């Protein structure tokens, strides 16, 4: 080392002599650190000056990229409802009958909340309109990406981008940031009461069975396909007599996937109400009939039973397959144990890509429709009374566990 170089560190015994330039740099670094610390401290001392939604927005990374983020990120208002346990809007476990519509109808209690809900509703209507106009020009999206022997024939990302409902994708429509995001980067609608389309609160029966509030990230689903991926729909509670024609929710769901090029290889339809097979098959649209398996028995929550399709059917598939599950059997003593199996069994939650569930709760706006089933559950003594908050918590936990979950109707 050249001792004449002013930038060298000079040693004398145990002392280290630092040149003037180095001392100056050390002082600058320490000064910058102290200024940053003071700024952070000031922000923390004055949280009351920030809008609660601004604080949530600043704490959530609503990135438009497709990188996995490692944990579920709820929309700002969903997080507000979950974290604050706001019983004014969600009820609580001790409430026998809570409202699911205060969030949309009560404009006097919180103007910021009302502004957020109305902005999201406008974005949802734009999305629903654009989404309804999408219809790809191929029958099976897998055939656009892979050859019969499993080779890639087109750029997968390019094919999947063609499924976007707008040029900028879902974040380009929901500019308010009120979309939630799965740990994998998949976008999904936020969890709000009334557990169905928001217009159910203002226009009633017209929107009771409307499913256009569900946001499917078909671009993401497409990106997960592998050369040997199979597509499965497990429908538990598959009666085709409840509604007629295209308004039947189960048929709507099948057609929604079909419009985006997702052709189901197998549709397992479990229904406990006895029906003549010929009558059932006449109601199954022609395009789904080759894949349709009508199983006219009820499902069982017993994990050792063949009639528990989560075990006897789903576990014969693998994580490369696209698996869609719908659960609506109107009996909580069957439904809730099945949901808990999904929550507790990682081998199940890892298999299920999309999950639709109608949680039958005590919400005054929908109670007339649920009354018969809830009364039967009460008489059996097997289920507790559940509120809007119970439903929000359950679906939030499903999503935190990696299951892309949607309210069903």
**Is position 61 within any domain?**
no
14 and 109 both lie in a single domain: no
pLDDT value of position 400: 97
Task: Report, as an integer, the average pLDDT of 395-405.
Answer: 97
Total Cβ atoms within 10 A of residue 222: 23
Tens of pLDDT, residue by residue over 260-278, are: 999 999 999 999 999 999 9
105 and 1 both lie in a single domain: no
Of residues 193 and 26, the one with the higher pLDDT is 193
Tens of pLDDT, residue by residue over 7-31, are: 443 333 444 444 444 555 545 546 5
Structural domains of the chain, count: 2
* HEC profile of the chain: CCCCCCCCCEEECCEEECCHHHHHHHHHHHHHHHHHHHHHHHHHHCHHHCCHHHHHHHHCCCCCCCCCCCCCECCHHHHHHHHCCCHHHHCCCCCCCECCCHHHHCCCCCHHHHHHHHHHHHHHHHHHHHHHCCCCCCCCHHHHHECCCCCECCCHHHHHHCCCCCCCHHHHHCCCCCCEECCCCCEECCCCCCCCCCCHHHHHHHHCCCCCCCCCCHHHHHHCCCCCCCEEEEEECCCCCCCCHHHCHHHHHHHHHHHCCCCCCEEEEECCCCCCHHHHHHHCCHHHHHHEEEECCCCCCCCCCCCCHHHHCHHHCCCCCEEEEEECCCCHHHHHHHHHHHHHCHHHHCCCCEEEECCCCCECCCHHHHHHHHHHHHHHCCCCCCCHHHHHHHHHHHHHCCCCEEECC
**Is position 266 within any domain?**
yes
23 and 108 both lie in a single domain: no
158 and 12 both lie in a single domain: no
133 and 226 both lie in a single domain: yes
9 and 72 both lie in a single domain: no
Of residues 151 and 98, the one with the higher pLDDT is 151
**Is position 14 within any domain?**
yes
**Is position 383 within any domain?**
yes
The two beta strands, 354-357 and 322-327, are parallel
133 and 201 both lie in a single domain: yes
2 and 73 both lie in a single domain: no
Average pLDDT over the chain, rounded to an integer:
83
295 and 185 both lie in a single domain: yes
Q: Work out the angle at residue 251's Cα, subtended by the Cα atoms of residues 351 and 261, and round it to the nearest 5 degrees.
A: 60
Checking if the pLDDT of 227 tops 90, the result is: yes
278 and 360 both lie in a single domain: yes
**Is position 62 within any domain?**
no
Task: Report, as an integer, the average pLDDT of 96-118.
Answer: 79
**Is position 51 within any domain?**
no
100 and 169 both lie in a single domain: yes
**Is position 37 within any domain?**
no
**Is position 53 within any domain?**
no
Range of the domain at 385: 68-407
Tens of pLDDT, residue by residue over 229-249, are: 999 999 999 998 865 444 689
301 and 397 both lie in a single domain: yes
């Amino acid at each position: 080392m050249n001792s004449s170089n002013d930038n060298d560190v000079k040693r004398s015994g145990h002392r280290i002599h630092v040149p003037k330039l180095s001392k100056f740099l050390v002082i600058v670094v320490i000064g910058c650190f102290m200024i940053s610390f003071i700024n952070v401290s000031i922000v923390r001392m004055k949280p009351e000056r920030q809008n609660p939604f601004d604080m949530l927005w600043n704490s959530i990374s609503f990135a438009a990229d497709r990188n996995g983020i490692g944990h579920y990120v709820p929309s700002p208002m969903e997080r507000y409802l979950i974290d604050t346990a706001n019983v004014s809007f969600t009820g609580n476990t001790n409430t026998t009958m809570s409202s699911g519509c205060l969030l949309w109808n009560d404009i006097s209690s919180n103007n910021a909340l009302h502004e957020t809900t109305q902005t999201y509703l406008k974005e949802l209507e734009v999305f629903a309109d654009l989404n309804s106009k999408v219809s790809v020009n191929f029958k099976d999206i897998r055939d656009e990406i892979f050859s019969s022997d499993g080779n890639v024939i087109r750029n997968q990302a390019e094919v999947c981008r063609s499924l976007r409902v707008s040029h900028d994708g879902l974040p380009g429509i929901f500019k308010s940031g009120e979309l939630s995001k799965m740990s994998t980067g998949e976008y999904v609608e936020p969890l709000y009461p009334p557990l169905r389309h928001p217009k159910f609160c203002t226009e009633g029966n017209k929107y009771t069975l409307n499913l256009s509030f569900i946001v499917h990230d078909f671009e993401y689903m497409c990106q997960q396909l592998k050369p040997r991926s199979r597509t499965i729909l497990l429908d538990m509670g598959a009666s085709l007599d409840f509604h007629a024609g295209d308004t039947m929710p189960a048929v709507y769901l099948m057609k929604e996937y079909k419009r985006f090029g997702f052709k189901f290889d197998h549709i397992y339809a479990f229904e406990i109400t006895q029906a003549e097979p010929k009558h059932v098959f006449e109601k199954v649209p022609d395009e789904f009939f080759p894949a349709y398996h009508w199983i006219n028995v009820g499902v069982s929550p017993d994990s050792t039973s063949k009639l528990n399709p989560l075990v006897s059917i789903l576990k014969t598939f693998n994580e490369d397959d696209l698996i869609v599950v719908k659960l609506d059997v109107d009996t909580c003593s069957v439904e809730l144990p099945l949901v808990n199996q999904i929550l507790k069994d990682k081998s199940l939650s890892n298999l299920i890509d999309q999950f639709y569930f109608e949680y039958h709760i005590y919400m005054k706006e929908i109670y007339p429709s649920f009354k018969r089933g809830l009364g039967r559950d009460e008489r059996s003594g097997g289920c507790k009374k559940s509120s809007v908050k119970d439903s929000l918590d359950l679906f939030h936990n499903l999503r935190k566990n990696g299951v892309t979950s949607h309210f069903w109707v």
